[in-house]
Amino acid sequence: MKQFTSLADVADPKALVDKVLQLKASGNSNRNIGSDLTLALLFFNPSLRTRLSSQKAAQLLGMESLVLDVNQGWPLEFEVGAVMNDNKSEHVREAAAVVSQYCDILGIRCFPGLKDRDEDYAEPLLSAFQEYGNKPIINLESATRHPLQGLTDVVTIREHRKSVKPKIVLTWAPHPKALPQSVANSFASWVLAMDYELVITHPEGYELDPNVTRGAHIEYDPNKAYKDADVVYAKNWSSYRDYGKIMSNDGRFMVNAEKMALSNNAFFMHCLPVRRNVVVADDVIDSQQSLVIQQANNRTFAAATVMKEIIELSIYE
């Protein structure tokens, strides 16, 4: 693996899931893999899980990590040919080249602007660091993808599934803020790559990129979608069609015990952070069937496996 910016960088997604489970079971046996290597993590947006699990993953591999919150005092210019006489003090051309010298792997988190769909889906920030930097990049959630979350989620499903082809329901849920499509895009892509059954339910107007959801069944009635579900995965996203807009905040889509009762005693999943009693009712997230804490734990092993693959197949190839 040369980089990990989306599922498309992974030659064999099912094999990678196996490797995450092997690494999780292997305890402290990977400490030499990353010794003398440095991971740099750039956060253009906040994070709890991704930041700490990436640092923890580096620690598992014996790698040092450097973390920078870019938004706190490092305003970067991205436009080619910009006349930099305003508040941006450095261009990404220099910044990416400089940061590349300090690290062996570079992780980047950057949310979308949610104003211009073509621009967001071209992933301008990741592309700039690819172009002007020269180190393998790990996507820590970009404008349109969150592949470490997608990998983690299918690993967690794999650990808990009761059949080889479980029925997975991805449900849109209400949220007061316009959020990216990244988590939903990556979740759908990884679930489909595992050959699981995927049903996506949301109000009309929240259809995701059809290139991402090809192979999934779209069901506008949540009660029908939940029937026989083995996993209910909730996430809010803003509209892809009417790009970045909140089309509705239909409370029928909050995950509650009544709808969960229609399922096959489904597990509840969410990437976190989650708005309680907006996205999911307390009695569901606090139930025995909730996997949210186990999911967050698996972030560490997914990240460590991705870093190990990059080290073995790219840095020491």
Residues that bind ligand AN0 (CB under 6 A): 141, 179-180, 182-183, 271, 273
Length of the chain: 317
Pick 167 or 270: Cβ nearer ligand CP: 270
Q: Which residues bind ligand CP (CB under 6 A)?
A: 47-50, 141, 149, 271-273
Q: Which does 48 bind (CB under 5 to 8 A by kind): ligand CP, ligand AN0, none?
A: ligand CP
Output phi, psi for 99, to 5 deg: -60, -35
d(CA 64, CA 142): 23
Residue 210 touches which member of ligand AN0, ligand CP, none, C-beta under 5-8 Å by kind: none
150/222 with CB nearer ligand AN0: 150
**Direct distance between the N- and C-terminal alpha carbons of the chain, in angstroms, rounded to an integer:** 10
* Whole-angstrom distance, CA of residue 5 vs CA of residue 147: 7
C-beta of 47 vs 59, nearer to ligand CP: 47
State the minimum distance, in angstroms, from the CB of residue 184 to ligand CP. 12
Closest distance of CB 47 from ligand CP, Å: 3
From ligand AN0, ligand CP, none, which one binds at residue 11 (CB under 5 to 8 Å depending on kind)?
A: none
Nearer to ligand AN0, 182 or 305 (CB): 182
Min separation Cβ 52 and ligand CP, Å: 8
Distance between CA 92 and CA 268 in Å, rounded? 40
Where residue 42 falls (left for φ over 0; alpha for ψ -120 to 50; beta otherwise) is beta
Distances in Å between the Cα of 11 and the Cα atoms of 47, 51, 129, 164 are: 28, 26, 22, 21
Q: Which is nearer to ligand AN0, 61 or 271 (CB)?
A: 271
Shortest Cβ 267–ligand CP spacing (Å): 17
Taking the least distance from each CB to ligand CP, the nearer of 149 and 201 is 149
Q: Are 66 and 103 in contact (CB under 8 A)?
A: yes
Alpha helices in 103-179 (DSSP H): 117-121, 124-132, 147-160
**Measuring CA to CA, which residue among 49, 52, 88 is closest to residue 67?**
52
In whole angstroms, how close is the CB of 262 to ligand AN0 at the nearest point?
26
Could you say which of ligand CP, ligand AN0, none residue 264 binds, taking C-beta under 5 to 8 angstroms by partner kind?
none
Instruction: Give CA–CA dist 254/257, Å, rounded.
Output: 10
Closest CB 91 distance from ligand CP, rounded Å:
27
